[in-house]
Structure 1
């Protein structure tokens, strides 16, 4: 492994453990906006959104927006104007975002608890103690909730009661990136990425392992060179699983068999975005690349935002949205990759507390300054 990549990995791991040690961002290129990207509304809430990562998630359903803060307060906001529809205070400080099913919302804690809350009754239905802290949101399907904990356990629980149905364990390497991948459920399978670089699929019903594929392949003399975590969110679309590993492999796998359909040597610590036949990935240096989702061939790339600590891309109407550590949101033309607009969503000097979420003509973001912001154009 080249020395430059080694130093890049070293700095990334240090950043995970010490957010205040981040280097200053490079200057942005001048831009005359071609699109009127602007703030639609901003709502203050009673807490932040965890550590400096995309650990928290937003859920948009109908005309409402659901979220939890690190104080364990659940919010239901009106998507149109940001007004608070409902606020539920719990005694469980949250460590990850939410999953929603019907009237029930689920979130995890640093104390290894998965919490289920009734939105209508504003009460905790159950709490389940697991084996380690929960660093990514749970996933619901068919009356079951899947969640991965920081120690490598994947657990599937009864959604109504919290009773454990089955568990599966992946061995942790000596050194890992702090974080976990959120499980995906599709085709009767639970698919999860692990710190050892494996993506595995299990039967939702029985927990039997159906297939496994080594997306990350640890290589190098030093442990830090051998980091192979699959921490970015998995995307499942049209019976294909898209996953990316920390050490530089982006792969498309058959959902049913785990067979690789194509793969590229691209390193990324965040997830990918897929829409129609277009896949967008941000590499470790914040270079943005668009690939054909069917075969992995490159369509375009953009290097204007290098080293600005971009988070997971999000398709936003006819554009692609990218947010950097300084709080700027950049809109890219999906056909060319050219930047067409930029606006400051909220001035910060750490990465946003959540992935962005686009719904209709609004882009929702949680930022670590106790705000929820909606952008529009």
Structure 2
């Protein structure tokens, strides 16, 4: 009975947070500026569906000349990056919660019904479905013909990408209260690296799932459960043998991929992933301050607080600039050397809160809740 009450209270808290997210007051218009960079719209296309509950789970995957993604209505798309023209699509009746991982023209996605699904765009069919232990709240990861996926109940599983058969799985205990979501695991150098709701990142052998190392990014502290939230929900990033992780109400941490030893740590609470280019790491904290750090030692390079309170999404590098998108639909380009905002543009007049933006270095791609995909460049 106590367990059921706990689950109910957590569910109610989650609904409360989601409700708050949908009733934010409108943001004020940003200051009028003359753009130093010609940030422009390449194309905008309507699609069948948007990102649903959380845009962080509906990543777009640029690969070669194409862009792959799924929507919350279960439609998988392959678009041409240069024009937005549809190359292929596949409609399903799946209740999609996260996606996608990519293997050629095969995509993998997760559902609220705990299904991990493999879909072939070239063959236009579902190849296999695997029912896991709980809903999937982050996209799976593909490498070496294997899939790593986390479920909301704390299980990390490794599966065959060909058949969906489980190769191994491990369970991490969850705290009483967590942020709704999980990070997406990574497969790198013979290891599966994952972040958990208890503030830990761990590495496991790709071969058999044995634990290789563990590091506690942030120890839960505080009298009340809500003060103790320490989820590692932002996407993990691996660059040059270093694992970078962010913890809610906590830190940005860099650890050695080989042995899990701490390299540096900074107090920057964030629920978003970081972006890295040329040893410059960009993080956005819970108040939407944009911070640049030296990725090798954690030294601060600059901080921009001019966008504070604008509910920024995860940052992305676009050429020599840092791009961030706010809840009002504005994309801001920051000079990566000093953090100054040098251009901004409304990405979509009807852009809803929480839209996700990804970059291939030359273009920005945005999937919105109102069923639009937009490409920007300069």
Q: TM-score, normalised by structure 2?
A: 0.94
Any conservation in 2 of the 1:138–1:147 contact (CA below 8 Å)? yes
> Which residue is 1:304 aligned to?
306
Cα shift at 1:169: 1.0
Which residue of 264, 267, 273 corresponds with 2:275?
273
- Aligned: 1:212 with 2:214: yes
- Aligned: 1:195 with 2:197: yes
User: Within 1, Cα distance between the matches of 2:182 and 2:52?
Assistant: 14
> Which residue is 2:3 aligned to?
none
> Which residue is 1:21 aligned to?
23
**5+ unaligned residues in a row in structure 2: which ranges?**
1-12
> Which residue is 1:175 aligned to?
177
User: Within 1, Cα distance between the matches of 2:352 and 2:178?
Assistant: 21
Which residue of 251, 254, 259 corresponds with 2:253?
251
Any conservation in 1 of the 2:14–2:180 contact (CA below 8 Å)? no
Any conservation in 2 of the 1:310–1:323 contact (CA below 8 Å)? yes
User: Within 2, Cα distance between the matches of 1:214 and 1:348?
Assistant: 41
Aligned pairs for 1:39-188 within 5 A: 39-188=41-190
Any conservation in 1 of the 2:100–2:140 contact (CA below 8 Å)? yes
1:99-124 deviation per Cα after TM superposition (whole angstroms, max 9, x unaligned): 00123110000110000011211100
User: Within 1, Cα distance between the matches of 2:226 and 2:147?
Assistant: 33
> Which residue is 2:8 aligned to?
none
> Which residue is 2:366 aligned to?
365
User: Within 2, Cα distance between the matches of 1:123 and 1:27?
Assistant: 46
Q: TM-score, normalised by structure 1?
A: 0.94
Which residue of 326, 330, 333 corresponds with 1:331?
333
Any conservation in 1 of the 2:351–2:368 contact (CA below 8 Å)? no
> Which residue is 1:7 aligned to?
none
1:50-92 deviation per Cα after TM superposition (whole angstroms, max 9, x unaligned): 2144221111111111010111111110111101111111121
Bigger shift: 166-175 or 50-59? 50-59
1:162-211 deviation per Cα after TM superposition (whole angstroms, max 9, x unaligned): 00011111111111111110001111000010111010100011000111
Report the secondary structure of 2:57's partner residue.
Answer: coil
Any conservation in 1 of the 2:147–2:158 contact (CA below 8 Å)? yes
User: Within 2, Cα distance between the matches of 1:76 and 1:303?
Assistant: 37
Aligned pairs for 1:341-360 within 5 A: 341-348=343-350, 350-354=352-356, 356-360=357-361
Give the root-mean-square deviation of aligned CA atoms. 1.5
Report the secondary structure of 1:65's partner residue.
Answer: strand
Say if 1:276 and 1:360 are closer, same or farther in 2 by CA, change over 3 A: closer
Any conservation in 1 of the 2:363–2:376 contact (CA below 8 Å)? yes
1:276-328 deviation per Cα after TM superposition (whole angstroms, max 9, x unaligned): 11001001100000000010000000000001110110001111100011111
Any conservation in 2 of the 1:56–1:353 contact (CA below 8 Å)? no
**5+ unaligned residues in a row in structure 1: which ranges?**
1-10
Q: Post-superposition, which runs of at least 4 consecutive aligned residues in structure 1 deviate over 6 A? A: none
Any conservation in 2 of the 1:52–1:351 contact (CA below 8 Å)? no
Bigger shift: 199-208 or 360-369? 360-369
User: Within 2, Cα distance between the matches of 1:73 and 1:53?
Assistant: 15
1:3-25 deviation per Cα after TM superposition (whole angstroms, max 9, x unaligned): xxxxxxxx999534542232432
Any conservation in 2 of the 1:74–1:89 contact (CA below 8 Å)? yes
1:123-163 deviation per Cα after TM superposition (whole angstroms, max 9, x unaligned): 00000000111111100111110000111111100000000
Any conservation in 1 of the 2:58–2:98 contact (CA below 8 Å)? yes
Cα shift at 1:247: 1.9
User: Within 1, Cα distance between the matches of 2:197 and 2:15?
Assistant: 14
Any conservation in 2 of the 1:19–1:52 contact (CA below 8 Å)? no
Report the secondary structure of 2:56's partner residue.
Answer: coil
By relative contact order (CA 8 Å, sep 6+), the higher-ranking structure is 1
Report the secondary structure of 2:220's partner residue.
Answer: coil
